[in-house]
Amino acid sequence: MYILVINAGSSSLKYQLFDMPLDKPLCTGLIERIGTNEAFIRHKILTVDPTQTIERQEAIADHSAGLQQMVELLSDAEIGLIHSADDIKAVGHRVVHGGERFANATLITPAVKETIKDLFPLAPLHNPINYQCIEIAEKTFPNARQIAVFDTAFHQTMPEYAFRYAIPESLYTDEGIRVYGFHGTSHKYVSEKAAAWLGKPDAKLISIHLGNGCSITAVQNGKSLDTSMGFSPLAGLVMGTRSGDIDPSVIFHLIAKGYSADAVNNLLNKQSGMQGLTGLNDMRDIRKALEAGNQAAALALDIYAYRIQKYIGSYAAVLNGLDALIFTAGVGENDSAMREQICANLDFLAVYLDSDKNRVATGDVREVNRSDSAVKILVIPTNEELEIAQQSFDLLETA
């Protein structure tokens, strides 16, 4: 069964084509920096030896244009893997916000689409893009089953004392205001990998997902106990364009100064974080600025790492111990300097990073801690696409 997985981020589009139940993709693709004139496309065909890779840089205005590029590559007369749209039996979509309604993979119906649309205000950088990708996929693959896998689903195991805010109960019961958490598909995948690596199903883990969006989750027994993102993906760590945690009084102060609510929302979601601190939202560009002596970049990296350290300390307390730190996603997997900065000054947890291993380690699960570290430090490439494909396949098998 050919299942195409579409994983759309705020400025990226990842996709993989699977022939399920095999867990190895036939091809993978990544489109980065969508919305710029320097978007980058990498399409890998894994059914040939050696792997065939197509790379190019060009202007891609939005996710619709990115999906069109994906379809052209998949169906290309010379390198394509499908003969027609009917070859695709299901399309699995990553959808960021499912509210309390969705705790599992779900067949997409008009009612499900309306719920996703209703949740736009809670995930303004993602749910509209996820919705757009669903609509394009429905037209492109009209006979395929469309399936949504929600980032919020994994965090439905949080205890009520962790997901409730200290506000009037009616705001929870009537308005659904609570901690939902995000990046759940990623946190679920890497925490299961870590538990298997450790040979400890009940492992106490802190999973750190660092990309353009960032979140950190406390996991035990394979269940999410607490997570940094909250009612929306705005809360928690410093991110590419999002502020992360901020005193709510700042919002009231800005509104009193004449900002509209929409302007403040746009400011905190799209103009803050590393973008607000440096004018740049891509960590690779910020590293280049640091190398050029940019002091704003140096401060921004200090703030970014410091916020993560604070959460590590608090989640070690939540777990009452710690077996492993997990680094995943673009920055977590590839920025060895940031991993080193985050793991510094964690002696009280007996967390000791091995600088040499950290710089050169390779593999599906990379252990970068010193031998005397009481806590394992693991770098695990996330594979949200495989997780989505598996959940989609399981849903169709039981439907």
Which residues carry a binding-site annotation for Mg(2+)? 7, 384
Contact 96, 124 (CB under 8 A): no
Q: What are the distances in angstroms from CA 379 to CA 45, 197, 270, 329, 386?
A: 25, 12, 28, 9, 18
Q: Transcribe 301-318 into DSSP letters.
A: HHHHHHHHHHHHHHHHHH
Q: What angle do CA 216, 217, 222 make, to 5 degrees?
A: 150
Q: What are the distances in angstroms from CA 50 to CA 44, 45, 46, 53, 102?
A: 10, 9, 8, 9, 41
Paired residues of 377 in beta bridges: 325
Contact 152, 96 (CB under 8 A): yes
In the annotated binding site for ATP, the residues are 14, 209-213, 282-284, 330-334
174: which 2 tokens? 């009537």
The catalytic position among 49, 118, 151, 302 is 151
360, exposed or middle or buried, with CB in 10 Å at 0-12, 13-18, 19+?
A: exposed
Element (H, E) at 30: strand 25-32
Cα–Cα distance between 68 and 208 in angstroms, integer?
Answer: 32
393: which 2 tokens? 């396949």
Contact 181, 158 (CB under 8 A): yes
Least Cα distance to 277 among 258, 252, 304, 255 occurs for: 304
- Is 202 an annotated catalytic residue? no
- The catalytic residues are 151
